Structures are given as C-alpha cells and as structure tokens.
Amino acid sequence: MAFDQCVNILDPLRQISASQAVDLDRLRLMKEYAQDAHEHRQAFRSFWLQAAQLVLLNLLLPLLTALLGYIFGSREH
C-alpha cells in the first residue's frame, strides 16, 4: 500500500526529469547551431572582405593611377 503511494508520487517526478533531459539536449543543439551560424557568418564576411580588397588593390588602384598619370602627364605647361 505505501509502496504504491511512493510509485504514484515518484512517477510525475520521473516524467519531469525525462522532459528536462530532452530540454537540455535541445538547448545543447541550439547552442551548437548558434555557434555554427556565427562561424559561417564570420567566414562569409571574411571571404567578401578579402575579395573586395583583392579587387580594390589589384584592379581599381592601378587603373586609377594609370588614368591620373595619363591625365596629368599629357598636359602641356
């Protein structure tokens, strides 16, 4: 009789602890997803920053220098 009451009392506690374990797993997965998303965003930003620097330094700066050199070099004083 007392044992049955103990089981009845402990059964909801067992269900609560099982749901908390699921919640902990869910939180762990959400944390890993957030870290992966952050790393992906940083890699994406780094890639485009490097691409922009490459274009600016290797294409636009020499083109601007050549154009200004032609404009100011062809002037007659």
Q: What is the pLDDT of residues 28-40, one digit of tens each?
A: 899 999 999 999 9
pLDDT band at 11 (very low <50, low <70, confident <90, very high): confident
- pLDDT tens for 15-70 read 666 666 667 888 889 999 999 999 999 999 999 999 999 999 999 999 999 999 99
**Could you please report the per-residue DSSP string of the chain?**
-HHHHHHHHHHHHHHHHHHHHHHHHHHHHHHHHHHHHHHHHHHHHHHHHHHHHHHIIIIIHHHHHHHHHHHHHS---
**Residue whose pair of structure tokens reads 């490459």 in the numeric block:** 54
pLDDT of residue 24: 80
pLDDT value of residue 36: 96
Please indicate, yes or no, whether the overall pTM of this predicted structure exceeds 0.85: no
